[in-house]
Amino acid sequence: MKSIKSSLPLLVVIALGIVADVYLFNTTYHPQSPATSTTSILTFPERIGNVTVLKAYVGNEGIEKIKSIHWDPEALKGLVNGAVVIYSDGSIAWIAELKSPVIAKKLEDEMVNRIAQLQGKLPYGTPIPHQIGNTTFYIIPDVRDRVHILWREGRYLIWLELGSQGVKVLNAYIKYYWGK
């Protein structure tokens, strides 16, 4: 099996192809969309081909799960809603809804900068930014041969850890959250 380092260029090309496809052909129609009220439970793709949800933490449980995972829970002061979704292929999604797009952008910047600053102390490699339209997608390699994708859509911050069907999961999340 190839290591993530030797496969990263191919993964970047595949991820960018998916992003470009969704950006060019799917930016106006959202058959499903996340909840728009900060008091509602966030929704997410529940079935992606043969990939199903094994466990989902939503609402207050989702917020607490995100805080327990994040290295600096104090940085999440603007968090108003959250979900953590574990899929059958090993993919994991963290969806954080923040009070405003400005707060979400600030948290995104802090996360990317912190990951870059802590090289060698965290399992993550340097975030690789890719600008598509008005959205920056960060592809983040992992020393455990995993790939993570981070991006912001309005007040939503989405982090995906890709499993064996990660390309399908990434495609579904981009279609689901694009333009929110």
Task: Provide the pLDDT for residue 59.
Answer: 87
Per-residue burial over 54-79, b if 16 or more Cβ lie within 10 Å, else e, is eebbbeeebbebbbeebeeeeebebb
Task: Provide the pLDDT for residue 119.
Answer: 81
Q: How confident is the model at residue 77 (pLDDT cuts 50, 70, 90)?
A: confident
Task: Provide the pLDDT for residue 83.
Answer: 92
Task: Provide the pLDDT for residue 26.
Answer: 41
pTM > 0.85: yes or no: no
Stretch 46-50: mean pLDDT, rounded?
A: 90
Q: Are 43 and 82 in contact (CB under 8 A)?
A: no
First-to-last alpha carbon distance for the chain, in angstroms, is 37
pLDDT for 136-177, tens place per residue?
999 988 888 888 999 998 999 899 999 998 888 988 888 887
Cα(147)–Cα(161) distance, integer angstroms: 6
Task: Provide the pLDDT for residue 15.
Answer: 56
pLDDT for 3-14, tens place per residue?
555 555 555 555
Q: Are 104 and 98 in contact (CB under 8 A)?
A: yes
Per the DSSP assignment, residues forming a β-bridge with 28 are none
For residue 104, give its domain range. Answer: 4-177
Stretch 119-146: mean pLDDT, rounded?
A: 85
Q: How many domains does the chain have?
A: 1
Per the DSSP assignment, residues forming a β-bridge with 18 are none
Q: Are 142 and 148 in contact (CB under 8 A)?
A: yes
pLDDT for 61-74, tens place per residue?
988 888 777 666 56
